[in-house]
Amino acid sequence: MDLEEIYPVPLKYQPFRDEDWRVVEEELDYVHRMQKGVLLNWPEELLKEWLYRHADCMEDYAFLNLERLKFTL
């Protein structure tokens, strides 16, 4: 069983990692990829501060259906 079978939802929100599970994707590259892909409605600061910096806890929030969240000031 691989990680995609265990954590199918959280993996699509993860920054790119190497074979040792170290993050190899730069923060802004991650933000741009998410905003052009699965998290179109997410502001840059939330992507950086919540998802990128706390990516190891992603499975705790998978139930939130992150694609459907919308944010306003």
Alpha-carbon distances, residue 17 vs 13, 50, 61, 65, 73 (angstroms): 12, 17, 19, 22, 32
Q: What is the pLDDT of residue 23?
A: 94
Q: What is the pLDDT of residue 36?
A: 96
Q: What mean pLDDT do residues 31-45 have? A: 94
User: Is it the case that residue 39 has pLDDT exceeding 80?
Assistant: yes
Mean pLDDT of the chain: 86
